[in-house]
Structure 1
Amino acid sequence: MISTATTSGKDFFAVINERKSVRKYDPNVSISKEELRDIIEIAGKAPSAWNLQHWHFVVIHGKAAQQRLYPIAYHQQQILDASAVIAVLGDLEANQNTDAVYDPLVQQGQMSKETKEQIARQIEMAYTDKQYVRDAAYLNAALAAMQLMLAATAKGWATCSIGGFDVNQFKQAFHISDRYIPIMLITIGKSIAPAHRTTRLPVEAITTWVEQ
């Protein structure tokens, strides 16, 4: 099996234009834990509401683990052939991260204790709204997912986001706490066939200008 790691960066706009949804991977290429950690670290720099980082990543890495996922993802071949599959979860209890995020800032003198307590109250108030909690988990985890795919592309890997899988079976098979909601799967590997060609709507079709 070939092990590949890529560390060189690419121009940002090149990365944007190169990222495609690849579904056919070389099953003989492996990816190291270190490479995956690097990609996840970059994904974790995505923005989030109150910087609560409403995401968790489950890395399905290895043929045995990927075989377990295969039927849950409706027998998509890319699950088996990819070098790894990363499940992106949204955190329904990201408010529990408040102290971990803000206490270091207080200790370093970058934020007053009073300001931190004010922010904490705002967060707890927001988290009394169940709809907000769910929306925030989806929205913020999706930001990290997009950043993960761009980071992988920059390091020479192909990816594909997958929404087609049985969420309940996934949670049961991989022992996912009710704190987390599965958002998507992302396959990562080396492409052996071009991605499907896609058409993008023009700016005029997707933009409304408000000038007054």
Structure 2
Amino acid sequence: MDTFKAIYERRSVKGFDPNYKITPEEEQKLLEATIQSPTSFNIQHWRFVVLRDPDLRQKIRKEFGNDQAQMTDASLLILFTADTKAWKKEPQRYWQNAPQDVADLLVNWMGPFHQGREWLQRDEAQRSIGMAMQTLMLAAKAMGYDSCPMIGFDIEQVSKLINLPNDFVIGPMVAIGKKAKEPWPKPGQLPLNDLIVENQF
């Protein structure tokens, strides 16, 4: 599918065919595309929790997910998390294929840039999640699937269910599958002129 077509046709679908299964090969293709997303310093903070267990998905939906049907009915349910301390965990591996002088420059800069700036560590992790989510959803659309990003769940309780490590943040989850009903019409797009600032506010 043309990139612009995928961008314009991507919608947040709420109704999925619960009997449709994405193949393991398709899932692999989707996730391989997702990790092509950019990250600050090439840190690749994201960790994708693929929620496969039907009982776990049902528990999240009924107890902590506002009974959102897409949590159980979509073929795939992926919870996006990110490691806020990835910047100091063997950082040379993020630049192992770069020229040595470039790798040394970036790896040596990475520590001072992040050290003691917890707000930045969290912000960068969440930014990385956002870019990866959009890549996943556009890749899914290009493959003929639909998606739904979701933040309507109890973050604290879901974090406990998945044993989220202390240094990690939790982001939205994305449901992916074959839509069973059309999404609502687009609720309203702000005019581009309302969204652009030339140089200064």
**TM-score, normalised by the number of residues in structure 2:** 0.91
Aligned Cα RMSD in Å?
Answer: 1.6
Q: Secondary structure at the match of 2:66?
A: coil
CA distance in 2, matches of 1:33, 1:88: 19
CA distance in 1, matches of 2:141, 2:124: 26
- The one-letter amino acid paired with 1:121 is N
Q: Secondary structure at the match of 2:105?
A: helix
Counterpart residue number, 2:152:
164
CA distance in 2, matches of 1:63, 1:30: 13
Match of 1:125 among 102, 112, 115: 112
Counterpart residue number, 1:202:
191
Instruction: Indicate if the aligned counterparts of 1:52 and 1:97 stay in contact, CA closer than 8 A.
Output: no
Q: Tell me the CA shift for residue 40 of structure 1.
A: 1.0
Matched, 1:78 2:70: yes
Task: Write out per-residue CA displacement over residues 38-74 of structure 1, whole angstroms, 9 at most, x where no aligned residue.
Answer: 1111011011111111211011125333213212222
- The one-letter amino acid paired with 2:114 is Y
Counterpart residue number, 2:91:
98
- The one-letter amino acid paired with 1:33 is P
Counterpart residue number, 2:79:
87
CA distance in 2, matches of 1:53, 1:97: 12
Q: Tell me the CA shift for residue 197 of structure 1.
A: 1.4
CA distance in 1, matches of 2:143, 2:19: 18
CA distance in 2, matches of 1:68, 1:97: 36
Within 5 Å, give how 1:52-67 maps onto structure 2.
52-67=43-58
Q: Percent identity?
A: 27
CA distance in 2, matches of 1:149, 1:46: 12
Instruction: Indicate if the aligned counterparts of 1:62 and 1:84 stay in contact, CA closer than 8 A.
Output: no
Match of 2:172 among 177, 184, 200: 184
Matched, 1:111 2:103: no
CA distance in 1, matches of 2:29, 2:59: 25
**TM-score, normalised by the number of residues in structure 1:** 0.87
CA distance in 2, matches of 1:39, 1:116: 29
Q: Tell me the CA shift for residue 209 of structure 1.
A: 2.1
Q: Tell me the CA shift for residue 119 of structure 1.
A: 1.6
Number of equivalences: 196
Counterpart residue number, 1:136:
124
Unaligned runs of 5+ in 1: 1-9
Q: Secondary structure at the match of 1:14?
A: helix
CA distance in 1, matches of 2:158, 2:113: 29
Q: Tell me the CA shift for residue 97 of structure 1.
A: 5.1
